[in-house]
Amino acid sequence: ELLPRLAMLRHLGCRILVGVSRKGFIGKLAAAPDPLHRLPGSIAAGLWAIQQGATILRVHDVPATVQALKVWRGIGAIG
């Protein structure tokens, strides 16, 4: 319930930590019942959370998430 409304929390003036890594909602949305098969969905949800104002991501797959963030930010810097 909070994730779709994350942008509303930006106005509180504090850092926002989001932990979406391998969560059940990703399994439901992506038809991935096994948490070990939810990395792409976890990265997508994390990038979305950053875009909505999250400042900290709690993740299981640090190297993959860091790479995704670097590419995502790099693409933004190009355009």
Active site residue ranges: 23, 58
Alpha-carbon distances, residue 34 vs 2, 11, 27, 31, 71 (angstroms): 24, 36, 7, 9, 27
Alpha helix ranges (H) inside the chain: 6-9, 24-30, 39-51, 62-78
Per the CB < 8 A criterion, the answer to whether 18 and 54 are in contact is yes
